[in-house]
Amino acid sequence: MTWISPLLFLIALGTGVFLFARRIQSILKMIRVGRPDLPSDQPIKRWAQMMRLALGQQKMFRNIPVALLHLIIYVGFIIINIEVLEIVLDGLTGAHRLFLNPLGTIYPLLINSFEWLALGVWVACVFFLVRRNILYIKRLRSNDLNGWPRTDANLILAIEIVLMSLFLLMNASDTLLQTRGIEPYATAYTGNFLISQYLHPLLSGWGDASLIFLERGCWWLHILGILAFLNYLPYSKHLHILFAFPNAYYAPLEPKGKMVNMPSIQQEVELAMNPAAVTTPSTEPPGRFGAKDVQDLGQKNLLDAFSCTECGRCSAACPAQHTGKLLSPRRIMMQTRDRMEDLNKLPPDQRTNDGKSLLHDYITVEELRACTTCQACVEECPVSINPLDIILQLRRYLVMEESNAPGEWTGMFGNVENNFAPWKFSPEDRDAWMRVDS
């Protein structure tokens, strides 16, 4: 009968990992719908950028107290995974605390540090729940988050609190069973741990059988919880813990002020201005000018959308949002992701013709018109997302494919084209500033 538990564990682990891998595959497929634009140049600079922004969380430290709490959760998450490795191996082999013998005296040190981190994660998550729901932080109360996104955020924090509680409760019952000489706990003797020992008074009245049941229950719920969370991850905003890395790697290395060039238009204009200069005119059929839907966006834009954790630092810094305009850079990212998910739910043959598009049906013209291209959203994003790039591509479509511009802009285009200045002044007066007295 000893094989039943490892078999059940193997099935749970296999299912969890399989479903996670399948979902990631599906997300990568959604991203590949975009124009291939992921850069492969300057790998050393890109690795350094990834280490600095994703691993080092440089942007988070613009707000130090929050950054430290976030760091505890992040480090806790990574380090406690060493413990998860033991749990997985225990589960597969039917052993109990497999790492105790090989590690000897280091083992209690290790578990003690995990317990400290678990407590830290627990406290940080409780604080973040309070901050999100009771304290008033504008970006966390914004209408952007109405409905599922708000629940999603609270659910993630709640799950982490539950997982950490299970871990501590499991250790508490284990060490209590050790002192009672119950096997296999007594053989794998570790002594009390720094944090979970304080839970002993809660459990001391419990009988041996109930304690064993509690310990096993916590063990199973902890690992099943982790597998479930792993699968929740790619359906939630929490995916940023993985995607922050490729997203920082692929983020532009150039100054933020540089707009992405459109070589097709460059060539067309060169050909029009000087037909002799272009020796090899492009044979490619001209694509769409700008972006109307997610297929027209770059793969980096779509990776951005899946990396967004909806923290709203972009929108808090956005001058348009700050002064009550409709534009919210966070919403641009959320709508882009929603559009991809909505398309993905359709049968493949309907995905190009569902009568909707990102522009107009998900993101309105008024939002796009409010942007001052100030790059505050790009500057603030801790995971290297660029909402501005999407806004500008949609603007290009509006102007070049729909001729949809406010009257003042149409006038400005005319002035620039005819008078070489955005105002209606004669080019003859361009040097008049020299002659006017100040």
Binding region for another protein (CB under 8 A): 62, 254-259, 261-262, 265-266, 268-270, 273, 289-290, 317, 319-320, 322-327, 366, 369-376, 378-379, 392, 395-400, 405-406, 408-409, 411-413, 416-417, 420-423, 425, 427-438
Q: Which residues contact 155 (CB under 8 A, 6 or more apart)?
A: 232, 236
In the complex, least distance from residue 422 CB atom to another protein, rounded to whole angstroms:
6
Judged by CB, which is closer to another protein: 3, or 435?
435
**Tokens representing residue 17 in the block:** 């990992």
In the complex, least distance from residue 249 CB atom to another protein, rounded to whole angstroms:
21
- CA 92 – CA 147 distance, rounded (Å): 40
Judged by CB, which is closer to another protein: 28, or 137?
137
**Helix count (H) and strand count (E) of the chain?**
19, 0
In the complex, least distance from residue 103 CB atom to another protein, rounded to whole angstroms:
46
- CA 214 – CA 169 distance, rounded (Å): 8
The rounded Cα 121 to chain-centroid distance in angstroms is 19
CA end-to-end span of the chain: 97
Judged by CB, which is closer to another protein: 137, or 265?
265
Q: Are the CB atoms for 6 and 223 separated by under 8 Å? A: no
In the complex, least distance from residue 438 CB atom to another protein, rounded to whole angstroms:
5
Judged by CB, which is closer to another protein: 44, or 434?
434
In the complex, least distance from residue 393 CB atom to another protein, rounded to whole angstroms:
9
Judged by CB, which is closer to another protein: 3, or 433?
433
Judged by CB, which is closer to another protein: 257, or 347?
257
In the complex, least distance from residue 380 CB atom to another protein, rounded to whole angstroms:
8
**Tokens representing residue 335 in the block:** 């709508």
Separation in Å, CA 295 to CA 113, 163, 229, 287: 47, 39, 30, 11
Q: Are the CB atoms for 73 and 90 separated by under 8 Å? A: no
Judged by CB, which is closer to another protein: 349, or 428?
428
Judged by CB, which is closer to another protein: 182, or 421?
421
- CA 13 – CA 16 distance, rounded (Å): 5
In the complex, least distance from residue 69 CB atom to another protein, rounded to whole angstroms:
21
Question: HSE of 278 in the Cβ direction (CA atoms, 13 Å)?
Answer: 17
* 363 phi and psi angles, rounded to 5 deg: -125, 125
Judged by CB, which is closer to another protein: 211, or 398?
398
Q: Which residues contact 69 (CB under 8 A, 6 or more apart)?
A: 124, 127, 128
To which residue do tokens 């919403």 refer? 331
- CA 216 – CA 214 distance, rounded (Å): 6
In the complex, least distance from residue 433 CB atom to another protein, rounded to whole angstroms:
4
In the complex, least distance from residue 150 CB atom to another protein, rounded to whole angstroms:
23
